[in-house]
Structure 1
Amino acid sequence: MSNIEGTFRGFNDSVIHYRGWEPEGDPQAVLVLVHGYAEHSGRYAHVADYFVNEGYAVYALDHRGHGQSAGRRGYFERFQFLVDDLDTFFGLVRQRAPGRTVFLVGHSMGGLLAAAYAIRHPGKVDGLVLSGAGVRVGEDVSPLLRAMSGVISALLPRMGVTQLEAAAISRDPQVVARYDSDPLNYRGKVPARVGAEMLKTARWVMREAHTITCPALIMHGTADKLADPAGSQELYEAISSSDKTLKLWDGLYHEIFNEPEKEQVLAFVRDWLARQTSRRF
């Protein structure tokens, strides 16, 4: 396995950091990991390692305002900027692995972003894997964010309106401790503009979800308090994919790739991907 890191210019010339994990020889397919809000691509190294060992090439970017990318920490003006950054990155990935099947694997806000990308760029995505997609706000997210972020966003876009609770990400205390101590994670409050943009995008994705036709695996922990599992159920029912799977993981928290049962989750994704790639050859 070889690791790569670099930067590219995203929307408005913003410097976006990315990394990749590549197997020896040609990959059987490519995964583009799309991380969630307030975290960074490095938190998915264990996921990448798992799938590189299965013969996949894996690439991930840090969203603007996240990780090692440029921008005010935890902030972006428009959700569409993230979609545009991802599109540029998608082109770079296609150059590194021409002709290969490419799956978008998105978690939380990254799941919302992956779905939005599939809607905005039909035909570019060969398959979607969504984990705890942020298409509906969970019960632990401040009602202020839901009720007033739009109003505050127009007047005080950078004002923090709610704090995400780290303990809600995983039942593994070591995962929570590492999350809290990671300097590349954003631990401030969610700015009003960011909250408003995510809520607006979630509504738009649900309206346009019927246009998604690529194979899709939608997963969610039933004990997720940050992103409502009902949102994944609704998304599953709304998309028009003829090949779609909904997997609800009983009792798991928000980050199903970081739960004590993560090996079961990864194996489930592996088997789903294997079925998809076998149908293409």
Structure 2
Amino acid sequence: MNIELDEGALTKRASAGPSLYFTSAMPKSGVKAVLGILHGYADYGARYAHVMGALAEHGIGSVTIDMRGHGRAGGTRGYCNRFDEFLDDARELKSLVRDRAKGAPTFLFGHSFGGLVATMSALAEPAPWNGLILSAPFFGLALEVPRVKILAGKVASRLYPKLGLPSGLAGKDLTHDVERANAYDGDPLVFPNATARWFTEAVAAQERALATIPRLTMPLYMVFGTADKVASFSQGKRLFDAAGSKDKTFDPREGLFHEVLNEPSWKEIVDPMARWMLAHV
């Protein structure tokens, strides 16, 4: 495949924070668009390598970063002082995308928690994105969290912000692909805990997203598995419907789990996504 691959530590940042790690896959010629990818919680960029390769077949380059506290980036695993630190990381991704696009159209993609970050980033700084693509965005949990647990989380966030509680995520709950599920469970870069501060910051960001999503005007594409056990399908559809974008596409995938791009049918999701991007260049 005629693709130029690159990866490495991003130590020189425009904003304060730990070092990040980037991965890019660019067609060696004829770049039609470039996609910036934001991974989910306890996730990291290299897990999207198969997606990046498939996009390159369409002439679409892609760049992803490991956000702070994830993958090969610096920082405490799964921790942030405030949600806006992830928006700083998204700005670093935007800079990488711009450098590689060289004037070609650009799009922003976010999966799960990365979808929440991507949404808030696009709302705050819509330029230069031609469109926003969300995969199972984390606008709410699939299972309702008892109010007492939320209150306990807020107390822990103030007193013990780095306290890690089991996230309960297992590969079998993310994809029907047994091989990929087992790879997730055995991946040393995936971690099993959610910190108290991250949780309360994520919940607060979800509330802001619901309040501000009507301001989103760029083209929007959202794909969601109807059997998602992690992110709330109904809450995702609610925010999709509330988005101010006049050009928007909702792509429900019957029976699929949270990581739709790691399901056996992932290629059947990437190809329409690529065609959507090329229709918006």
TM-score, normalised on structure 2?
0.93
Determine helix, strand or coil for the equivalent of 2:121. Answer: helix
Matches within 5 A, 1:76-91: 76-91=80-95
Matches within 5 A, 1:129-278: 129-139=133-143, 146-166=150-170, 167-187=172-192, 189-277=193-281
Determine helix, strand or coil for the equivalent of 1:157. Answer: coil
Residues 92 and 172 of structure 1: CA distance in aligned 2, closer, same or farther (over 3 Å): closer
Aligned alpha-carbon RMSD (Å): 1.6
Given that 2:134 and 2:221 are in contact with CA atoms closer than 8 Å, whether structure 1 keeps it comes out as: yes
CA-to-partner distance for each residue in 1:49-101, whole Å, 9 max, x for gaps?
Answer: 00011101110000101111101112222111111111122123212222111
CA-to-partner distance for each residue in 1:135-168, whole Å, 9 max, x for gaps?
Answer: 1112187876544322210111111234232121
**Which of 34, 42, 49 matches 1:30?**
34
CA-to-partner distance for each residue in 1:167-215, whole Å, 9 max, x for gaps?
Answer: 211112211110011111112x211101011111111011110111100
For residues 221 and 214 of structure 1, the distance between their equivalents in structure 2, rounded to whole angstroms, comes to 23
For residues 183 and 205 of structure 1, the distance between their equivalents in structure 2, rounded to whole angstroms, comes to 32
Pairing 1:92–2:117 present: no
For residues 177 and 114 of structure 2, the distance between their equivalents in structure 1, rounded to whole angstroms, comes to 22
Which sits farther off after the overlay, 147-156 or 192-201? Answer: 147-156
For residues 28 and 157 of structure 1, the distance between their equivalents in structure 2, rounded to whole angstroms, comes to 44
Matches within 5 A, 1:40-59: 40-59=44-63
Residues 169 and 144 of structure 1: CA distance in aligned 2, closer, same or farther (over 3 Å): farther
TM-score, normalised on structure 1?
0.93
For residues 190 and 171 of structure 1, the distance between their equivalents in structure 2, rounded to whole angstroms, comes to 24
Residues 173 and 91 of structure 1: CA distance in aligned 2, closer, same or farther (over 3 Å): same
Letter in 2 for 1:183: P
Determine helix, strand or coil for the equivalent of 1:21. Answer: strand
Which sits farther off after the overlay, 83-92 or 5-14? Answer: 5-14
- 5+ residue gaps, structure 2, are none
For residues 52 and 201 of structure 1, the distance between their equivalents in structure 2, rounded to whole angstroms, comes to 33
Instruction: Give how far 1:270 is off.
Output: 2.0
Instruction: Give how far 1:126 is off.
Output: 1.4
Given that 2:32 and 2:278 are in contact with CA atoms closer than 8 Å, whether structure 1 keeps it comes out as: no
For residues 140 and 211 of structure 1, the distance between their equivalents in structure 2, rounded to whole angstroms, comes to 27
For residues 280 and 228 of structure 2, the distance between their equivalents in structure 1, rounded to whole angstroms, comes to 28
For residues 55 and 148 of structure 2, the distance between their equivalents in structure 1, rounded to whole angstroms, comes to 39
Given that 2:36 and 2:93 are in contact with CA atoms closer than 8 Å, whether structure 1 keeps it comes out as: no
The alignment covers a number of residue pairs equal to 276
Letter in 2 for 1:245: T
Given that 2:134 and 2:223 are in contact with CA atoms closer than 8 Å, whether structure 1 keeps it comes out as: yes
- 5+ residue gaps, structure 1, are none
Letter in 2 for 1:100: A
Letter in 1 for 2:254: D
